Amino acid sequence: MAKSKPKKSSPQGITWKKDTLAYGLDMFTPQLKSKVAVLIDRQADEGTRMMKQGARWTDRTGNARATLKGDAKHMEFEDQIILHGGMPYQIFLETMQGGKFAIIRPTLPELGRKTMAMCQGLMALMR
């Protein structure tokens, strides 16, 4: 008895035409990148505000508080927020008494959590 060949079934499911996935990603990426860049710029300013308001040390000249700054840096595949102080003695303010009066390092995780939550919300809105 001859064995019969199984019938070839036609593919079922999703049919992609003209690479719709790549086209959609190409459209999505620039929009997302520009929105994330605006968000990062705003959050860098928020980091500046948080540090200036939250610094617990006595600022005799006003210079240490005035030079606390959050900067945004945008690259092709990553965006950064850099928090820093502009006075030569800033390291002393951050490390004296075991970091009791630090403001830059404690601001980073709080700002990071807020920024990531906002990025997730932004991506959810773009779906």
Q: What is the pTM of this model?
A: 0.74
Residues 6+ apart with CB under 8 A from 118: 39, 43
Amino acid at site 69: K
- The pLDDT assigned to 31 comes to 81
Residues 6+ apart with CB under 8 A from 36: 79, 119, 122
- The pLDDT assigned to 77 comes to 82
Residue pair 43/114 in contact (Cβ under 8 Å)? The answer is: yes
- The pLDDT assigned to 5 comes to 57
* Averages of pLDDT over each 10 residues, the chain, 127 residues: 54 53 63 90 98 90 95 91 95 91 94 92 79
- The pLDDT assigned to 84 comes to 96
- CA dist 55 and 92 (Å) reads 13
- CA dist 52 and 41 (Å) reads 17
